[in-house]
């Protein structure tokens, strides 16, 4: 395939993405009436995204074919390094974030509940050291309980209807070893701000909710929107207490 096909800065890539977005929005139950009942985590819709893409990353709305800049910068800033840490990447999609952590020397497990995403990530990174697995955040395997020093989540919490967030935080905590840390990269909003998801930008109260689940805050960065560019984001680091 022509190399330009994968150039995410090209107008052709943008046009294919816009076309896919229209179709995907029309299929998304959360876009129709705001209510998602039978399939609250919208797994069927996520499966349709990867299936309908037919190998074209332009048709996967979040696939940037590069690590998220906020995650990548965080990795680069770790003076003590990530060498040897056991890291879990949640909702890994096509794998770029997981690969970024693995390149820093971490032992990375990355999972997504869509099997096609996992197959695709493995195809993109055939020499990868990342252990890719199909799995559901709400049904983590026993072997992952308390098994990780760091969990990275980028854009998966904001893809969940707000009423699933506390359950999601509890699941994330369950996979952290005592003292382990959770890195969240997500769109941000004010508590009272009007918004219509998906995605559902996270309000500041998410950190209170996390605290109630036993995850205390180490740092919260509130990264403002760039006019004509990116949205407002949180980059937050939380910690599971030794006795939580
Ligand atoms: C918005 S995408 C972000 C993908 C990736 N983290 C990134 O930053 O490019 C959310 C991903 O999480 C996956 N996902 C959503 N809910 C999940 C769940 N309950 N368990 C596992 N994966 C989930 C979706 O299939 C999708 O690949």
- HSE, side-chain direction, 13 A CA sphere, residue 166: 7
Average pLDDT of every residue of the chain: 94
91 lines ligand 1 (CB under 6 A): yes
d(CA 169, CA 119): 26
**pLDDT over threshold 80, residue 42:** yes
- Residues whose CB falls within 8 Å of the CB of residue 81, separated by 6 or more in sequence, listed in order: 104, 105
d(CA 2, CA 4): 5
Region of residue 59 (left: phi > 0; alpha: psi -120 to 50; beta: else): alpha
- 198-240 pLDDT tens trace: 999 999 999 999 999 999 999 999 999 988 778 999 999 999 9
Do strands 107-112 and 86-90 pair parallel, antiparallel, or not at all (unpaired)? parallel
- 120-131 pLDDT tens trace: 999 999 999 999
Residue corresponding to tokens 């840390």: 181
**pLDDT over threshold 70, residue 101:** yes
d(CA 19, CA 215): 40
Give me ligand 1 centre to Cα 162, in Å: 15
50 lines ligand 1 (CB under 6 A): no
Mean pLDDT of 84-105: 97
- HSE, side-chain direction, 13 A CA sphere, residue 40: 12
Provide the percentage of residues in the chain whose pLDDT is more than 70.
97
- Residues whose CB falls within 8 Å of the CB of residue 67, separated by 6 or more in sequence, listed in order: 75, 96, 97, 99, 100
Looking at ligand 1, which atom is closest to the CA of residue 136?
A: 20
What's the pLDDT score for residue 1?
A: 66
Tokens, residue 185: 């990269």
User: Can you list the alpha helix ranges (DSSP code H) found in 149-200?
Assistant: 165-175
Mean pLDDT of 11-35: 89
d(CA 193, CA 184): 20
CATH 3.40.50.150 for the 69-240 domain, yes or no: yes
Give me ligand 1 centre to Cα 92, in Å: 6
Ligand 1 pocket: which of 114, 156, 165 to mutate (most atoms <8 Å of CB)? 156
**Alpha carbon nearest to ligand 1 atom 1, residue:** 155
93 lines ligand 1 (CB under 6 A): yes
In which band, very low, low, confident or very high, does the pLDDT at 33 lie, cut at 50, 70 and 90?
low
Mean pLDDT of 42-58: 97
- 140-182 pLDDT tens trace: 999 999 999 999 999 999 999 999 999 999 999 999 999 999 9
Question: 93 burial class (0-12, 13-18, 19+ CB within 10 angstroms)?
Answer: buried
What's the pLDDT score for residue 241?
A: 87
For the chain, what are the domain ranges?
Answer: 3-59, 69-240
176 lines ligand 1 (CB under 6 A): no
107 forms bridges with which residues in the sheet?
86
**Least confidently predicted of 6-10, 187-191, 205-209:** 6-10
**pLDDT over threshold 80, residue 52:** yes
* DSSP SS3 for 117: helix
């Amino acid at each position: 395939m022509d190399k330009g096909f994968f150039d995410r800065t090209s107008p052709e890539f943008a046009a294919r993405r816009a076309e896919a977005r229209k179709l995907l929005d029309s299929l998304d139950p959360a876009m129709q009436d705001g209510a998602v009942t039978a399939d609250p985590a919208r797994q069927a819709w996520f499966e349709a995204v990867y299936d309908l893409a037919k190998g074209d990353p332009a048709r996967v709305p979040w696939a940037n074919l590069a690590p998220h800049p906020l995650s990548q910068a965080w990795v680069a800033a770790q003076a003590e390094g990530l060498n040897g840490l056991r890291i879990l990447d949640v909702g890994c999609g096509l794998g770029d974030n997981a690969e970024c952590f693995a390149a820093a020397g971490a032992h990375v497990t990355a999972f997504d509940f869509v099997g096609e995403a996992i197959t695709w990530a493995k195809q993109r990174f055939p020499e990868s050291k990342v252990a890719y697995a199909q799995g559901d955040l709400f049904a983590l395997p026993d072997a992952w309980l308390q098994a990780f020093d760091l969990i990275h989540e980028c854009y998966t919490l904001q893809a969940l209807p707000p009423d699933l967030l506390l359950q999601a935080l509890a699941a994330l905590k369950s996979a952290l070893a005592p003292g382990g840390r959770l890195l969240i990269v997500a769109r941000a909003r004010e508590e009272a701000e009007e918004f219509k998801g998906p995605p559902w930008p996270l309000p500041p109260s998410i950190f209170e909710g996390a605290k109630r689940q036993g995850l205390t805050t180490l740092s919260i960065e509130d990264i403002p929107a760039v006019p004509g560019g990116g949205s407002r984001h949180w980059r937050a680091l939380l910690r599971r207490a030794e006795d939580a």
